């Protein structure tokens, strides 16, 4: 496939998981090795088409600041493909727990599929909850679909709230719609709120801010948005590739969320498509 056509294919892709998008984007961008001048514009267009995919911002930022971006692209794709976060999260969830999650969470979903002893209350979000319940049932994981209005009751009957980050900075995170309510109810109710921050999700706050602005511009009214902005101070634990960290209330969760990529300001400029 011609490099430009490959990039168009990636830009149009919908519904793919972040690791697949990163792999396809890395392949498309490395095919531009003989046209490095086009890399910046190509990266801008990718994040404009997928403003809600934190790992694509992470990929593009690292490539734009690398001395050899085309060699680095494959290393980046391998990093997210072998992300240990789901395994770490799966190991850390207490035995026989009842957990609450929202919508169709990527990292959290892969972790829960490994735990047949855990009961999952899936709070519906944009009609994605039923599909996630079906996935859990295929893995013999006990689960229940909870309507949005039952969120507080589900959390009151649970041991743990799991929030899946699409992107996170030291100030805020982006997660499936309904996650703000879940985190706040859990925090106020004394139910631990665990943030799953997989590889490629920890970004500079300027990137997270740009993601929020672009996603907001894509909907007519705020309640039609597919994602929530959650303050990180609602989180009690952070789970990542290195394992589980408990938030020190005196310091806050921000101390545990260091960006995984440098800031490339050129990524924020419009591509003039």
Task: Based on DSSP, count helices (H) and strands (E) in the chain, helices before strands.
Answer: 11, 10
Same domain, 146 and 54: no
Say what the pLDDT of residue 34 is: 62
Is residue 161 located within the same domain as residue 214?
yes
- What's 252's domain CATH number? 3.40.50.10470
Q: Are residues 73 and 36 in the same domain?
A: yes
* Helix segments in 50-178, DSSP class H: 54-64, 69-81, 85-92, 106-112, 129-138, 151-156
112 shares a domain with 59: no
Specify the pLDDT at position 36: 66
Residue 25, in any domain of the structure: yes
46 shares its domain with 59: yes
Counting as low any pLDDT under 50, the low residues of the chain are 1-4, 11, 13
How high is the pLDDT of residue 31?
Answer: 81
70 and 190 inside one domain? no
Q: Which among 101, 1, 58 has a CA at the least distance from the CA of 211? A: 58
Shared domain check, 116 and 63: no
Are 107 and 192 in a shared domain? Answer: yes
pTM for this prediction: 0.91
pLDDT tens string 17-40: 899 899 989 988 888 776 667 889
**Range of 41's domain?**
3-82
Q: Are residues 130 and 222 part of one domain?
A: yes
Q: How far apart are CA 213 and CA 216, in angstroms?
A: 5
Provide the pairing of β-strand 227-231 with 172-176: antiparallel
pLDDT at 84: 98
Tell me how far apart the alpha carbons of residues 96 and 89 are, in angstroms, rounded to a whole number: 14
Cβ(129)–Cβ(150) under 8 Å? no
Residues 150 and 112 in one domain: yes
Structural domain includes residue 47: yes
**In the chain, how many domains are there?**
2
């Amino acid at each position: 496939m011609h490099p430009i056509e490959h990039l168009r294919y990636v830009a149009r892709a919908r519904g793919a998981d972040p690791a697949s998008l990163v792999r396809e984007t890395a392949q498309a961008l490395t095919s531009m090795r003989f046209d490095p001048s086009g890399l910046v514009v190509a990266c801008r267009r990718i994040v404009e088409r997928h403003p809600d995919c934190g790992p694509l911002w992470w990929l593009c930022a690292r490539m734009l600041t690398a001395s050899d971006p085309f060699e680095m692209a494959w290393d980046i794709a391998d990093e997210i493909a072998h992300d240990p976060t789901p395994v770490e999260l799966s190991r850390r969830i207490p035995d026989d727990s009842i957990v609450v999650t929202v919508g169709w969470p990527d990292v959290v979903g892969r972790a829960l599929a490994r735990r047949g002893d855990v009961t999952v209350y899936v709070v519906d979000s944009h009609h994605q909850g039923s599909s996630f319940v079906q996935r859990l049932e295929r893995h013999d994981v006990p689960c229940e679909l909870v309507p949005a209005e039952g969120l507080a009751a589900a959390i009151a009957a649970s041991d743990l709230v799991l929030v899946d980050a699409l992107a996170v900075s030291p100030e805020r995170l982006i997660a499936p719609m309904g996650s703000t309510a879940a985190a706040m109810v859990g925090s106020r109710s004394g139910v631990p709120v665990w943030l799953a921050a997989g590889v490629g999700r920890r970004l500079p706050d300027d990137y997270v801010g740009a993601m929020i602005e672009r996603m907001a511009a894509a909907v007519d009214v705020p309640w039609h948005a597919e994602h929530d902005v959650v303050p990180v101070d609602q989180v009690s634990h952070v789970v990542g590739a290195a394992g589980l960290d408990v938030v020190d209330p005196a310091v806050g969760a921000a101390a545990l969320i260091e960006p995984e990529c440098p800031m490339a300001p050129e990524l924020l400029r419009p591509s003039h498509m």
